[in-house]
Amino acid sequence: MTSKFLKLCLFLIPLFFLSSCKKRTETQEPTPTPAPKLIEIDMADRPYISLIPRADGHEIKLVVDKIPDFIKEIEYELVYTAVDEDLEIEKGLAGTLQNETGKASKDLLLGTESCTNGCKYKYDTGVTGGYLILNFITANNQKAIFESDFVLSQTAEIKKNDLKLNDLKIVATPKQTEYFILLQNYNQVYSVFSSGNGLAAITSISSDYKKEDKTKLTGDYSK
């Protein structure tokens, strides 16, 4: 009897350990979050994008206007190149904007801010442009992507080398010392924004483009 019992125990013990090990190694794989489906927003529904430089050129206000109701939030990424001790360094800012009123904005500092004991700022220098990426996320997890290069230039530089991006070249003389930003908007027109009133004498525009008000460098340039 004792011998039979011992044999049974010796037979069951390995089964017990095998069963225990099996249970411990069986883990449930997490359900992956599905990637958003890429969509195109109809031209008539595309938001209007503004990049407005501050008077000193050290901050840019991102404004997204005329956002359609089906967009719930916007992921933004602004990448630019700065110069530090004659070395070019790529820097970036990123975040999320909520669509609550059809318009959203964010001040983007070109530098760093420390507010431990009163706010102190270290501004990046030599910034002449970069690129902007906006991901428009819908309520049902679809995504539309906008991307454009942009140019940041001051009055003196525009007088010397004009204002250019891709196939658009604007020859102009701004009336005041200001900062200007040129980008290609979501509706395919080129848009110029300034830190002031944008008054300028426009001498010429690339032959494929036109602008109604030529007393200002700011505004939209379309084909």
Residue 32 has pLDDT above 90, yes or no: no
Q: What's the alpha-carbon Rg for the chain, to the nearest Å?
A: 29
Residue 33 has pLDDT above 70, yes or no: no
Q: What is the mean pLDDT of residues 185-196?
A: 97
pLDDT confidence of residue 26 = 58
pLDDT tens, position by position, 82-98: 998 889 999 999 999 99
Q: Average pLDDT of the chain?
A: 89
Residue 22 has pLDDT above 50, yes or no: no
Q: What is the DSSP string of the chain?
A: -HHHHHHHHHHHHHHHHHHHHHHHH--PPPPPPPPPEE----GGGPPEEEEEE-TTSSEEEEEEES--TTEEEEEEEEEEEEEETTEEEEEEEEEEEE-SSSEEEEEEESEEEE-BTB-EEEE--S--EEEEEEEEEETTSEEEEEEEEEEEEEHHHHHHH-EEETTEEEEEEESS--EEEEEE-TTS-EEEEESS--BEEEEEE-TT-B-S-TTBS-EEEB-
Residue 4 has pLDDT above 60, yes or no: no
CATH topology of domain 37-168+177-195: Immunoglobulin-like (2.60.40)
**Cut 0.85: pTM above it:** no
Residue 10 has pLDDT above 90, yes or no: no
pLDDT confidence of residue 8 = 42
CB 192 within 8 A of CB 219: yes
Q: What is the mean pLDDT of residues 168-182?
A: 97
Tell me how far apart the alpha carbons of residues 70 and 48 are, in angstroms, rounded to a whole number: 16
Residue 201 has pLDDT above 60, yes or no: yes
pLDDT confidence of residue 36 = 81
pLDDT confidence of residue 6 = 44
When pLDDT is cut at 50, 70 and 90, the band that residue 113 belongs to is confident
pLDDT confidence of residue 123 = 95
pLDDT confidence of residue 5 = 45
Paired tokens of 100: 């609550």
Tell me how far apart the alpha carbons of residues 129 and 79 are, in angstroms, rounded to a whole number: 8
- Closest by CA position to 195, among listed 180, 183, 216, 217: 180
Residue keyed to tokens 């070019």: 88
Residue 23 has pLDDT above 90, yes or no: no
pLDDT tens, position by position, 135-173: 999 999 999 999 999 999 999 999 999 999 999 999 999
